[in-house]
Amino acid sequence: MVATKAIRKKWFSFILIILVIGILTCILLNIPFSKINLLSDCAFITSNELSEIEKEGFFGPFVCARIKEDSVVNTIKQNENEIYEPEIEFRLFNLIPIKFQKIKMIRSNKVLASGAAIGLVLKTDGVLIVGSSPVTTVDGERDVLDENILKIGDVIKQIENETVENVSSISRIINEEKNQDRELEIKLIRKNKELTARVKPCYDVKSQDYKLGIWVRDDASGIGTLTYIGDNNRFGALGHPICDSDTKSKISLKEGKVYNCSILGVNKGTSGNPGEIKGLFMQGKNEQGVVEKNNDYGVFGNINDGSVLFSNTQEYEIGGRLSVKPGKAQIRCCIDGTHVETFDIEIIKTNFQNYSNDKSMVIRVIDEDLLNRTGGIVQGMSGSPIIQDNKIVGAVTHVFVSDPSKGFGVYIDWMLNQ
């Protein structure tokens, strides 16, 4: 009898342990840790989204999230936006704290989504080395780049402490009497690092002046797509940086201009050839705004009051990373004239990103009209706003070369945060 009671007790304990493990497993399986982790200190959400995450069930049936009551809310000014930094508290069963996380919240809940084609002209901060040509000296031909002191992609900022403002600056500085026939100090940027090099210019026996024997460029231009216009006419476009066509280096920006652009035609994309939008824009009086930033998430600046670019916009709520999910969506873009159209796409994958990256999601064009006209995503469509559930959630950034119907998009968070 005693043995039977002991056996029953052991079985009861075993069943209880299994039951507890089962309950804990059920709880753990129903906690969306990846969704919680999306709220990193880089997280960027709107006040509307903040209200949503305070609702029961947003992070599963067992976890609730709300602003910590004693959290100090700091206000900072960032690119004309007022950014708040509250602390979010996650609680299991609304009792046990499991995580505290600061976030960034913007007062504005809406922006004007565009999709219009724009022309962009950027002046470099310094001059960019794009190539070289040998200089004929008394000792034979000399190619400075062969000496591995200067390299393609370097941005020359100063020579002998004189600012290099444009292409002609180099010849003027190295041919000044005080600088002739001697080694000169050159300050440059290489892969985002400031460096100092010493180079002796070559005396060209043909032209009878001093040369570095390098090809340089002081501007870049092209077309892209305007993503949004926000508060105080602040805009974001492209979703990726403007790079030099030869060196593929990101343009170091001194100043830039935005122009209205007309699309003349499209080279249809095929496997192995992503295609391209052909556009035309005129500089001068056609200026629509200024570019102040060129970084990994696009170009940013301000649109002029009364610009024609406002006519191709539509107001949408902002949807951060918490709003994006696999499923149907749309893009807005211009592939004919200046008219912005809306086309159906599908978001087929969203990536967990604690740190900013311009490949936040994978998208696929499912609109037969767009596929027939362009083959899918083509060069020039970068920056096309992505709309899901009537919110702007991102922008097109890249096309899959092997399949132009697919591409990458960037979360709108990363663009608004610039």
* Residues labelled as active-site residues: 240, 367, 382
CA angle 248, 251, 257 (to 5 degrees): 130
Cα dihedral value 29, 33, 36, 37, nearest 10 = -170
What distance lies between CA 119 and its chain's CA centroid?
18
- Number of residues written out for the chain: 418
d(CA 50, CA 317): 13
DSSP per-residue codes, 67-85: E-TT---EEEEETTEEEEE
Q: Which of 180, 196, 252, 263 is nearest to 223 (CA)?
A: 263
SS (H, E, C) 350-402: ECCCCCCCCCCEEEEECCHHHHHHHCCCCECCCCCEEEECCEEEEEEEEEECC
**Dist. CA 195–CA 115, nearest whole Å:** 39
Give the side-chain half-sphere CA count within 13 A for 36. Answer: 22
At 354, which amino acid appears?
A: N
Name residue, tokens 């899901």. 388
Structure tokens at 199: 């180079």
User: What's the farthest any 2 CA atoms get from each other in the chain?
Assistant: 115
Return d(Cα 150, Cα 154) in angstroms, integer: 7
Identify the bridge partners of residue 260 per DSSP, sorted by sequence position: 118
